[in-house]
Structure 1
Amino acid sequence: MTATTSFTGDANPYGGGDPYADYRTADLPFTRYVDLADRRLGGAVVAANDEFFAQRENLLLPGPAEFDPERFGHKGKIMDGWETRRRRGADADRPWPAADDHDWALVRLGAPGVIRGIVVDTAHFRGNYPQAVSVEGASVAGAPSPDELLGGDVKWTTLVPRTPVGGHAANGFPVATEQRFTHLRVNQHPDGGIARLRVHGEVVPDPGWLAVLGAFDVVALENGGRVEDASDLFYSPAVHTIQPGRSRKMDDGWETRRRRDRGNDWIRYRLAAQARIRALEIDTAYLKGNSAGWASVSVKDGDAGPWTEILPRTRLQPDTNHRFVLPEPAVGTHARVDIYPDGGISRLRLFGSLTEEGASRLTARHQELGG
């Protein structure tokens, strides 16, 4: 994902043709982290003080915002984002909004964790974007209601101070707060519209919940697994392979370009913590003519440990979920799937449980981050 880090000011009026033609962008390093607010992980916009023109839920829709210049409703222009009405002052002598006037939305992260950066995307909001935005974070256990989140006993930490933003631009904000958050409060000053919100960071799971589960998918994104690197990201991100649920279409998995050499493609993962793996799944759902021909899986214990193959190179079938029970449990902190020679898989599942050392380290980090 790309975004502008410093542009503020007016966007050009829509001139017809490609609605993204003047969409200003620049690279943001933190976007390599997963979106903690992703709807597929359970993220949601649970409340907003105003959504007169466009619904708050649009903030977390996957994919870029769309724009139809001829689409209007009975309230006005229909925008693909969250848009509030224009604020007014107290009376005719003071028609302008007060300095502290603002609109807000409450966001529940699908996967609580440490936030590394936030993108407030105002795509297609050219004359109706907010003058500034701010973002706060909180860590609240359970499933609090909006009223509970707005109560006086919830501590909110400023992640993005009130900062001017640009119209029709993806405004990026690095975050350096080492704390585990479950909810965000997104403020726009004084009013206006935001197309998309992306909250990039590292998942920090609840070790108590994982302990109760016993056996679980130790590489799953929602359980704290993550992709460290991959040989090829030409068609789709490797992180798709550890998303919740089965793939729903071809680009919901990982697919590489066609190799023209004698090599092979691969993904390297970090597990939730040191774990004892007992079974695995490799799914090629919706990859029919592009499925990997063969795959192998290896694990290693520690950053410097040697790789040990736990699944030898095995023939894969297109559009099929393959299940394997290991003859002996394998202990490790990292995993690697190699596909031969190229193609793709949709999901990788590694079923097992945390070792005593893994559980201890995960609990210590959870406590350190205020979980």
Structure 2
Amino acid sequence: MINVTSLDLGTKVLHVSDDFFANAERMLEESQPVFKDEYDENGHWMDGWETRRRRDSKNDFCIIKLGASSKINSFEVDTAHFKGNYPLAVSIMACCAKNIKDEELTKHPENFEWKELLVQSDLEGDTKHDFKSSCQDEVTHLRMDIFPDGGIARFKAFGTICFDEKLYDKENINVLSMLHGARAVSTNNEFFGELKNILKEKDALNMGDGWETRRRRKPGFDWGIIELAKPAIIDNIMLDTNFFKGNFPDSFSICSAFVEESTDKSIVTQSIFWEELIPSQKLEMDNKHYYDQSVLLHNKPITHIRINIFPDGGVSRLKLFGKFIKDEELKDLV
């Protein structure tokens, strides 16, 4: 599952009842919350969303617009560093409002069907809470209520991005984008940076925003397996080693396969027998590398890839440009 409320996906806070002490969007950051002994004009600086103390019978809330339509399985509500100022409880609702103007939803939320994903649940201070979602329907917006006020350091909703059928009509798009439903399945190592980072659309912010393995001290190489949202044909590839200067891989290659049905565990063994999509290519530090069809070894539909880096190191982004293939078109291609 991926964090569908990540700012990297374009998620944003549309409306907030109050964020006097700390901006609500700060709780959507992927980084670990930190504590700073600093003060601004409103009080102590906190890494998260924090409201003022309520003096009425109401409660605070915020409305979040997801970067892409998603199905949510679970939530993580982290009150790290909020000890005397955390909410006593939280609840979460959601609605599916595609192609709706932001102001229409924020001004008249009662016009939309809100489904309960999490009943009002107790919170503790300076604690990471895990909750299950009671509904896995497709949603575009979340409403989080906190009772009655206080601070949330980080909020994450884990699930899957729903495939946008309109993408079938587009060509030369990044079919390996997290925003289009691609996901990291498995890797042998991600000591310094997670494999899923290379699926982000925007350029890396720093070296920690990519995939980086530890220094290899044994024979072999490092690898990562990624699943596309739908079968696709690849036309060209971009691999970026941005920020990786003394720790970029010497070379890389990509294997691919069309897999109709499998489990994440068994796909690792299957990948041993996948055919190459692009043979081993030398890499340079801190550089974007481009490869067109003249380098690719086939143009068959694929559902999975395995990127191999030799022998180890870091990659900031990997993009596979091509076209998603409809089911009825696959019969003649596979």
TM-score with structure 1 length normalisation?
A: 0.80
Do the aligned partners of 1:225 and 1:272 also contact (CA within 8 Å) in 2?
Answer: yes
Residue in 2 aligned with 1:185?
143
Question: Which consecutive aligned stretches of 4+ in structure 1 deviate over 4 angstroms post-superposition?
Answer: 303-306
CA contact (8 A) 2:250 2:284 kept: yes
Give the structure 1 partner of residue 6 of structure 2: 38
Residues 324-343 of structure 1: pairs in structure 2 closer than 5 A: 324-327=291-294, 328-343=298-313
Shift of 1:242: 0.7
Instruction: Name which of structure 1's ranges 250-259 and 143-152 shifts more when overlaid on structure 2.
Output: 143-152
Q: Which among 7, 17, 25 is matched to residue 57 of structure 1?
A: 25
**Distance in 1 of aligned mates of 2:277 and 2:215:** 26
What residue number does 2:164 align with? Answer: 206
CA shift in 2, pair 1:248/1:125, >3 Å:
closer
Out of 302-311 and 196-205, give the one that drifted further.
302-311
Q: Name the residue aligned to 2:217.
A: 260
1:281 alignment partner in structure 2: 238
Following TM superposition, by how much is the alpha carbon of 1:153 offset from its aligned partner in structure 2, in angstroms? 2.2
Of 311, 331, 349 in structure 1, the residue corresponding to residue 278 of structure 2 is 311
Q: Aligned equivalents of 2:31 and 2:173: distance in 1?
A: 29
Q: Distance in 1 between matches of 2:41 and 2:286?
A: 45
The residue type paired with residue 138 of structure 2 is: R
Shift in Å, 1:341? 0.9
- The structural deviation recorded for 1:176 is 4.7
Superposition RMSD in Å? 1.9
Note if 1:131 corresponds to 2:88.
yes
Q: What residue in structure 2 maps to residue 225 of structure 1?
A: 182
Instruction: Find 1:75's aligned residue among 42, 54, 66.
Output: 42
Number of paired residues? 316
Equivalent position amino acid for 2:292 in 1: V
In the TM superposition, what is the alpha-carbon distance from 1:68 to its structure 2 partner? 2.5
Which residue of 1 is the match for residue 324 of structure 2? 354
Superposition TM-score, scaled by structure 2 size: 0.89
Paired residue secondary structure (1:201): strand
CA distance in structure 2 between the aligned counterparts of 1:253 and 1:54, rounded to whole angstroms: 28
Distance change in 2, residues 1:355/1:68 (3 Å): closer
Q: How many angstroms does 1:75 deviate by?
A: 3.4
Per-residue deviation, residues 258-314 of structure 1 (Å, max 9, x unmatched): 111111100101112011111111211111111111111111011467511011111
Aligned-partner Cα distance in 2 for 1:287–1:68: 29
Instruction: Give 3-state SS (helix, strand or coil) of 2:204's partner.
Output: coil
Offset, 1:200: 1.6
324 and 105 in structure 1: CA distance in 2 versus 1, 3 angstrom threshold: same
Amino acid at match of 1:343: G
1:302-330 CA distance string (max 9 Å, x none): 14675110111111111121111124423
Maintained 8 Å contact 1:281/1:349: yes
Contact 2:116/2:134 (<8 A) preserved: no
Between the aligned partners of 2:255 and 2:50, the Cα distance in structure 1 is: 48
Residue 43 of structure 1: CA displacement? Answer: 1.0
Amino acid at match of 2:161: V
Q: Aligned AA for 2:305?
A: A
User: Given the superposition, is the C-alpha separation of residues 288 and 359 from structure 1 closer, same or farther in structure 2, using an over 3 Å criterion?
Assistant: farther
Is it true that 1:116 corresponds to 2:83 in the alignment?
no
The answer to whether the 8 A contact 1:41-1:110 is kept is yes
Q: Is the Cα contact below 8 Å between 1:49 and 1:103 reproduced in 2?
A: yes
AA at the equivalent of 2:178: L
Distance in 2, Cα, partners of 1:247 & 1:220: 14
- In the alignment, the residues of structure 1 paired with residue 222 and residue 300 of structure 2 have an alpha-carbon distance, to the nearest angstrom, of 23
* Corresponding position of 2:52: 85
Hey, what's the Cα distance between the residues in 1 that align with 2:171 and 2:291? 19
Q: 1:286 to 1:165 in 2, by over 3 A?
A: same
Counterpart residue identity of residue 46, structure 2: M
Q: How far apart, in 1, do the equivalents of 2:329 and 2:93 lie?
A: 30
CA distance in 1 between counterparts of 2:147 and 2:328 reads 44
Paired letter, 1:236: G
